[in-house]
Amino acid sequence: MSILVQPDTKVLVQGITGSFGARHTQLSLDYGTRIVAGVTPGKGGQVFEHAGQKIPIFDIVGEAARHTGATVSAIFVPPPFASDAILEAADAGLDLVVCITEGIPVNDMVKVKEALRGRTTRLIGPNCPGVVTPGQGQDSSGGCRIGIAPGYIHKKGHIGVVSRSGTLTYEAVWQLTCRGVGQSTCVGIGGDPVNGTSHLDIIQMFNDDPETHGIIMIGEIGGSAEEEAAAWIQKNGRKPVAGFIAGATAPPGRRMGHAGAIVSGGKGTAAAKIEAFRQAGIGIAATPSEMAATLLKMM
């Protein structure tokens, strides 16, 4: 099986009527994702139409979930309102919230993180590409695509992928698919300094998933999440893991791409993360082009 979402997972989209949300809702429907509702305040009662499908739009998440049975939300809400959208989804009791929005103020996310403490709702992101569980159809269509990842690069199989970088997620997936190797689930956890789900959370899920036989873990400079995951793998990991750390040449104090990718106070360096990987027995890809090859060599 896959982690987090299945092909039959019912999904609602917050921000479905915006241009970005609408476009990716269409792509997810084309992939086979069961999108059952949209949420845009003030547009309740309208319908989102695509390829003969009609998706009802609601004013609030709770109403959408009650009427459609949706258990997962994809958030495409602008940054000033995204934190409230996350909390609304959690208040509605959804199992999973995938927040794609980039540029949410850190202070807003600190408040969200505290508000989610002790709740059953899991947050992926923000500033992430989302989650893909490949299906069985041609180009693995018929799976569940939540977010902005290109569906056609995926193939159903047994490798789990977790990454802070969207682009490197796609690169790892494409390398695997080109070698005829499929994926169980691919998770982009986002590169912001305050996010909902960590490398370690996903690694533990992959470790417990009988259908995941190997893992690619992609990290970046900044923070200590990769080191924490590596320490856990060293003690508890039962599956081969290959890793790559982006930002080895970034100067200290300079932000690299993501808001959380910054070396500060001598912590979060690429060298420290790579050494943690080495001590944990994680296969280290020297360049992005070697991620899949490194894992497959280990397997």
Active-site residue, selected from the candidate residues 24, 154, 199, 258:
258
Give the three-state DSSP class for 133.
strand
| Joined tokens for residue 44 | 């309740």
| Joined tokens for residue 17 | 């009527």
CB 157 within 8 A of CB 195: no
| Joined tokens for residue 244 | 């790559």
As a whole number of angstroms, the distance between CA 81 and CA 18 comes to: 13
CB 131 within 8 A of CB 188: yes
| Joined tokens for residue 234 | 């060293």
- To the query of whether residue 258 is one of the catalytic residues in this protein, the response is yes
User: Where do runs of H (alpha helix) occur along 131-224?
Assistant: 166-178, 199-208
Furthest CA-CA distance within the chain: 56
Question: Before 56, cis peptide (omega within 30)?
Answer: no
As a whole number of angstroms, the distance between CA 170 and CA 160 comes to: 13
- Which are the contacts of 192, defined by CB distance < 8 A and separation ≥ 6? 104, 106, 109, 125, 126, 127, 258, 259, 260
CB 277 within 8 A of CB 237: no
The count of other CB atoms within 10 Å of the CB of residue 61 is 25
**What residues are labeled active site?**
258
